[in-house]
Amino acid sequence: MYRAVLREEPAQVDALHLLGLVAQQRGRPAEAVQWISQALQHRPNFAEAHYNLGLVYRECGQLEAARACFERATSLRPRYAEAFYNLGNTLKDLGRLDEAVAAYQRTLRLRPKFAKALNNLANAYREQGRLEEAAATFRQAIACDPSSAKAHHNLGLTLRALGRFSEALEALDKAVALASPFAEAHNARGTTLQALGRFDEALAAYEQALAQDPQLADAHFNRACAWLRQGDYQRGWAEYEWRFRCKPFAMPALPGTAWNGSAQPGRTLLLYAEQGLGDTLQFVRYLPLVRQRVGRVILACQPALVPLLRASGLCQQVTALGEALETYELYASLLSLPHLFGTTLENVPAPRRYLQADAQLAAQWRERLGGVKGLRVGICWQGNKAQAFDRLRSFALRDLAPVALVPGVRLVSLQKGDGSEQLAGLATRWNIIDLGPDFDTAAGPFMDTAAVIEQLDLVISCDTAVAHLAAALGVPVWVALAWSADYRWMLHRDDSPWYPSMRLYRQTRPECWEDVFDRMGAELQKLAAEKLAAAAPAAGTATPAEGAMGAVGAMGAAAAVPAAAQTPATAATGAMDTAAAMGTGGATAGAILVEISAGELLDKISILEIKSARIREPARLANVLRELEMLHTARQRSLLESEPLAKLATSLREVNEQLWQVEEALRACERQGEFGAPFIELARSVYRLNDHRAELKRQINDLAGSRLREEKSYGC
């Protein structure tokens, strides 16, 4: 019919245009372009024709031409919502994300309830990393079309990425209720439940996903982690092999034969690392076992670990991933070794120590840190920010306050890269040893770190490579774990079958580190006091602080409080913990609560510290340490610490040391019946020292604003 019109009137624009549309519908895009272009020759301002020509070009993949058409259409008709929408889609396909977003926004101003535009805008936001806006926009899309399972799924994924797991779960619940099968949404439900710490339900969700799509690799991988978390290593490690079919873990295309774990003497095996640095450090423990089965092993690992692992002597050759390789016949992933070796909970290869620092560097650091007094605790708080759940597993340096404030603890920062900027305000305040910018540069990554760790009493770390390194070096390490921790740390246990020197401190509430570090702080207080006591010289000459220097590595014995000192305290543990928690003495039965001045508190603390360094008998020492711990807690909770306060406290301690020595000398004179000039001098020094002591206490009271003042009165 259109052709009939054109025969009558060859320049009939509508007929040309409509013929173009018919051609397009019949799948003849070239013809469509011709007709519509003709129409436009006759009427260049025909907005719909430009728009439809754009659609044709877009369909043929001529994105630039399509974009020009849509732009022309929108400039001719500024309220042309569909044209803006398709301009947005085209710009997005062209990778011009910012412009696409602007085009969608324009569309939505013209037609606010345009569900597809909302959905595409939200996806564009997501690609831009503007997750909050993406979530809000997905919600709008859902408001326009509540039955769209896809929109609920997308909302769920966005909320999950934002760490808003409860809301994400709600969205994903709707997605799976609206559409079936929807394996991806079940899988996403699983990871969300897992992040919420609802592990059994997570596993059930993966099972559901797999029931709907048995080939969904992501769900297999997630189920593997769930099984491993439960300690079901037999099924877990086998299932973990599915990761190679997941995008992020795709196996590199390697020549050679995949190794099945069998004995192949005389052949060369390439073992390659994957995933994080910690994974590599954890699984290189298998290398000695591998070497018993194959002739020669080449390890290809992350460049950052090459120097350390080369020095370890664990295998014949270590090379960086991506570098040229010598010839080999067999290959395997390092993370497949638990599977290939049939690892179960009962046979995890867990030597106390399977890496060591470079001996020369260790000696250098031993010397450099020689003067560092107290319990040396290495700290690392920030993992690789690129990791998906980093926000959950890393903590802030300032979360470590309960650890940093334990008297007798000296922190050493092992943090590098992201997170080290947090040292700025706190390094001086907490007297943290920062190892400087040259750290790990000369000898290579981790070389200094390993050497320093060997000089420490303890490492406290988030779930990151440093924790693995310390444990692999056999140094005591306390790992702060998120509510929903990585599969390898399993569930409900505070130790790891993989690392004998490791202790796990789990969050007891999601995203809440307080009680994790409160518990560490309480343990550390005991350790620091023990170290102080253990290192005290037999004769009372050196100050306890200096004495504390001697013994390094006394804690090698699993960071435990010696049983002898622990026993008497254990009976009172409940009451003591309450008292500590209350800061100024809990309402234990029989306890007397009374306000004391700051000077009195610091005086008493200094005396107990002196006693703890000199008393050797376990039961008596335990009594001293118990009181000291309560008073330390009270100090921490009640006084604003400052440099001048610390100086006054040190002076007070010195005076009390002197008084102690005078007292001992006086008693020695008494025993020998010598009451001559030396005795008189000693006796006189008592009141001189006591006057000085009273003055220091007064200054402390002034500084702390104590209401109580100690007054002295002596007859003239």
Partner 1 sequence: MVADPLPTEGLRLYRTMLRIRRCEEQLVQAYSEGLIHGACHTYIGQEAVAAGVCAHLTRDDVVFSTHRGHGHALAKGVSARELVAELFGRVTGCSRGRGGSMHLFAPEVGLLGTSGIVGPSILQAAGAGYSFKLLKNGRVAVAFFGDGAVNNGAFHEGLNMAAIWRLPVLFVCENNQYATEVPFSYAAGNASVAARGTAYGMPGVAVDGNDVLAVYAAAAQAVARARAGEGPALLECLTYRTRPHAEGMGDFTYRTREEVESWKARDPLLLLRARLIDGGVATEAQLAQLEGEAAEEAAEARRFAENSPWPDPASATTHIYATP
Our finding on whether 258 is near partner 1 (CB under 8 A) is: no
Based on the shown chain and the rule CB under 8 A, indicate whether residue 397 belongs to the binding site for partner 1: yes
**For residue 33, what is the DSSP state?**
H
Q: If binding is defined by CB under 8 A, does position 643 make contact with partner 1?
A: yes
Contact by Cβ (8 Å): 351, 438: no
- Peptide bond between residue 181 and the one before it cis (omega within 30 degrees of 0): yes
Q: Which x/- pattern, by CB under 8 A, does the window 493-512 give for partner 1?
A: ------------------x-
- Considering the complex, state which of residue 514 and residue 674 has its C-beta at the smaller distance from partner 1: 514
Nearest approach in angstroms of CB 7 to partner 1 is 56
Site for partner 1 (CB under 8 A): which residue of 260, 642, 668, 681?
Answer: 642
Residue that the structure tokens 């085009």 belong to? 103
Q: Measured from the CB of residue 283, what is the shortest distance to partner 1 in angstroms?
A: 31
CA 641, CA 625: separation in Å to the nearest integer?
A: 22
Contacts with partner 1 by CB under 8 A: the residue count is: 31
The mark string for 62-101 relative to partner 1 (x by CB under 8 A, - otherwise) is ----------------------------------------
Cβ at position 638, least distance to partner 1 in Å = 5
264-272 sheet: strands from edge to edge: 257-258, 330-333, 264-272, 294-301, 317-320
Those residues with Cβ within 8 angstroms of residue 379's Cβ, 6 or more apart along the chain or in another chain: 397, 400, 403, 411, 412, 413, 414, 415, 432, 459, 460, 461
Nearest to partner 1 of 52, 461 (CB atom): 461
Handedness of CA 424, 426, 428, 429 (dihedral sign): positive
Indicate the residue among 480 and 704 with the shorter CB distance to partner 1. Answer: 704
From candidates 514, 664, 674, 691, binder to partner 1 by CB under 8 A: 514
Does position 146 interact with partner 1 (CB under 8 A)? The reply is no
Nearest Cα residue to 88 out of 54, 60, 137:
54
Size of the chain, expressed as the number of residues it contains? 716
Mapped onto helix, strand or coil, the DSSP state of residue 374 is coil
Position among 105, 654, 703, 710 found at the interface with partner 1 (CB under 8 A)? 703
Determine the Cα–Cα distance for residues 480 and 27; give it in Å rounded to an integer. 62
- 182 near partner 1, rule: CB under 8 A: no
Q: Which of 401, 542, 575, 666 binds partner 1 (CB under 8 A)?
A: 401
Residue in 582, 666, 669, 686 binding partner 1, rule: CB under 8 A: 582
CA gap 589, 594 in Å, rounded: 14
Provide the minimum distance between the beta carbon of 646 and partner 1 in the complex, in angstroms, as a whole number: 12
One of 184, 399, 448, 657 touching partner 1 (CB under 8 A): 399
Give the E-state strand segments of 466-554 in sequence order. 477-481, 502-506
- Residue 502: partners with Cβ closer than 8 Å, 6 or more residues away: 467, 471, 476, 477, 478, 479, 495, 496
Minimum CB–partner distance for residue 399 and partner 1 (Å): 6
Degrees to nearest 5, angle at CA 706 with 702 and 708: 110
For partner 1, the closer CB: 322 or 417: 417
Q: Which of 43, 398, 692, 698 binds partner 1 (CB under 8 A)?
A: 398
CA distances 47 to 73, 136, 158, 562, Å, are 5, 33, 37, 86
> Does 109 help bind partner 1 (rule: CB under 8 A)?
no
| Residue 664 within binding range of partner 1, rule CB under 8 A | no
504: β partners: 479
**Closer by beta carbon to partner 1, 36 or else 404:** 404
CA atoms of 79 and 93, how far apart (whole Å): 23
Taking the mean position of all CA atoms in its chain, how far away is CA 331?
31
**In whole angstroms, how close is the CB of 597 to partner 1 at the nearest point?**
12
Residue 60 binds partner 1 (CB under 8 A): no
- Closest CA relative to residue 579, chosen from 512, 618, 628, 520: 628
* Contacting residue, 247, 492, 707, 712, with partner 1 by CB under 8 A: 707
Stretch that binds partner 1, among 48-56, 174-182, 553-561, 577-585 (CB under 8 A): 577-585
What does DSSP assign to residue 255? S
Distance of CA 137 to the CA centre of its chain: 30
CA-CA-CA-CA torsion sign (221, 226, 227, 228): positive
**DSSP line for 177-213:** HHSSS-HHHHHHHHHHHHHTT-HHHHHHHHHHHHHH-
CB of 582 to partner 1, least distance (A): 7
Distance from first CA to last CA of the chain, Å, rounded? 130
Q: In this complex, which beta carbon is closest to partner 1, that of residue 31 or of residue 145? A: 145
Interface pick for partner 1 out of 129, 436, 590, 705 (rule CB under 8 A): 705
Q: Does 549 bind partner 1 (CB under 8 A)?
A: no
Interaction between residue 595 and partner 1 (CB under 8 A): yes
- Helix (H/G/I), strand (E/B), else coil: 215: coil
Residue indicated by tokens 């990554």:
445
Residue with tokens 């690992």: 301
Pairing of strands 317-320, 330-333: unpaired
CB of 707 to partner 1, least distance (A): 6
Cβ proximity to partner 1, 168 vs 325, nearer residue: 168
Interface characters, 620-639, with partner 1 (x: CB under 8 A)? -----------------xxx
Tokens describing residue 608 = 């107990």
| Phi–psi pair at 270, nearest 5 degrees | -95, 120
Among 537, 562, 568, 583, binds partner 1 (CB under 8 A): 583
Please report how close the Cβ of residue 648 comes to partner 1 at its closest, in angstroms: 11
Measured from the CB atom, the residue of 462 and 469 that comes closer to partner 1 is 462
Q: Does 584 bind partner 1 (CB under 8 A)?
A: yes
Q: Which is nearer to partner 1, 241 or 695 (CB)?
A: 695
Cβ 385 to partner 1 shortest distance, Å: 12
- Residues 434-453, interacting with partner 1 (CB under 8 A): none
The phi, psi pair for 552, rounded to 5°, reads -110, 140
Residue 590 beta carbon to partner 1: minimum distance, rounded to whole angstroms? 20
Dihedral sign of CA atoms 339, 343, 345, 348 in order = negative
The verdict on 396 binding partner 1 (CB under 8 A) reads yes
Least separation in angstroms between CB 605 and partner 1? 16
| Contact between 106 and 136 (Cβ < 8 Å) | no
Based on the shown chain and the rule CB under 8 A, indicate whether residue 275 belongs to the binding site for partner 1.
Answer: no
Minimum CB separation from partner 1 for residue 625, in Å? 22
Q: Does 641 bind partner 1 (CB under 8 A)?
A: yes
Q: What is the x/- site pattern for partner 1, positions 405-434, by CB under 8 A?
A: x-------------------xx--xx----
Report helix, strand or coil for 480: strand
Compare residues 299 and 704 and give the one whose CB is closer to partner 1. 704
Q: Which is nearer to partner 1, 367 or 641 (CB)?
A: 641
Residues that bind partner 1 (CB under 8 A): 396-402, 405, 425-426, 429-430, 511, 514, 581-584, 595, 637-644, 703-705, 707
